[in-house]
Structure 1
Amino acid sequence: MKITVSFLLLLLVCSVSTGQPEMETQACPQDIHAVLREMTASLAQLKVEVTSLQKENQAYAVKLKELEAQGTVVEKQETEIDNIKQRLEVKQVAFSASLLADGEGTTGPFSTHTTLVFKNVFTNIGSAYDPNTGMFTAPVRGAYHFEWYIGVHGSNTAAVLVKNTNHIFAAYEHQTNGFGSSSQGATLLLEAGDVVFVRLWINSRTFDNQNHHTTFSGHLLFTV
Structure 2
Amino acid sequence: MLDKDAAEAKLKALEAHMLDKDTAEAKLKALEARILDKDTAEAKLKALEARMLDKDTAEAKLKAMEACILDKLDTAEAKLKALEARMLDTAELKLKTLEAHMLEKATAEAKLVVQTDTLFAYMERRTTLLLQMLKERVDKLDVGADKHKVMFTATGGDIKKDDKLVFDVVHTNVGNAYNSSTGIFTAPYKGVYFFTLTCDINYGMIELHVFKSSELMMKFYDNTEQKGHSGTNSWMLRLDKEDKVYVKPVLNQNLQRHDKHSVFSGFLVEPM
Query: Are residue 132 (structure 1) and residue 181 (structure 2) matched?
Result: yes
- Selected match of 2:267 from 211, 214, 219: 219
Greater RCO between the two (CA within 8 Å, min separation 6)? 1
Query: Are residue 209 (structure 1) and residue 224 (structure 2) matched?
Result: no
Mapped partners of 1:157, 1:202: distance in 2 = 5
Q: Any conservation in 1 of the 2:151–2:173 contact (CA below 8 Å)?
A: yes
The answer to which structure has the higher helix fraction is 2
**Counterpart residue type for residue 190 of structure 2:** R
Query: Offset at 1:171?
Result: 2.6
Change (3 A) 1:164 1:181: same
How much identity, in percent, do the aligned residues show? Answer: 26
Q: Any conservation in 2 of the 1:206–1:214 contact (CA below 8 Å)?
A: no
TM-score, normalised via structure 1 length:
0.53
**Counterpart residue type for residue 156 of structure 2:** L
The answer to which structure has the higher strand fraction is 1
Query: Offset at 1:118?
Result: 0.5
Query: Are residue 178 (structure 1) and residue 227 (structure 2) matched?
Result: yes
Mapped partners of 2:245, 2:175: distance in 1 = 15
Q: Any conservation in 1 of the 2:152–2:174 contact (CA below 8 Å)?
A: yes
Counterpart of 1:150 in structure 2 is: 199
Query: Offset at 1:172?
Result: 1.8
Change (3 A) 1:96 1:166: same
- Give structure 1 regions of 4+ aligned residues with deviation exceeding 4 angstroms: 83-87
Structure 1 stretches of 5 or more lacking a match? 1-82, 101-106
Change (3 A) 1:198 1:87: farther
Counterpart of 1:165 in structure 2 is: 214
Aligned length: 133
Secondary structure of the structure 1 residue equivalent to 2:181: coil
Structure 2 stretches of 5 or more lacking a match? 1-139
Which protein is bigger by CA-based radius of gyration? 2
Q: Any conservation in 1 of the 2:193–2:239 contact (CA below 8 Å)?
A: yes
Change (3 A) 1:88 1:168: same
**Counterpart residue type for residue 220 of structure 1:** L
Query: Offset at 1:174?
Result: 1.3
Query: Are residue 121 (structure 1) and residue 178 (structure 2) matched?
Result: no
- Selected match of 1:192 from 220, 241, 247: 241
Deviations 1:71-109 (A, max 9, x none): xxxxxxxxxxxx989954441100000125xxxxxx56x
**Counterpart residue type for residue 179 of structure 1:** G
Q: Any conservation in 1 of the 2:213–2:243 contact (CA below 8 Å)?
A: yes
Query: Offset at 1:167?
Result: 2.0
- Selected match of 1:95 from 152, 162, 174: 152
Secondary structure of the structure 2 residue equivalent to 1:206: coil
TM-score, normalised via structure 2 length:
0.44
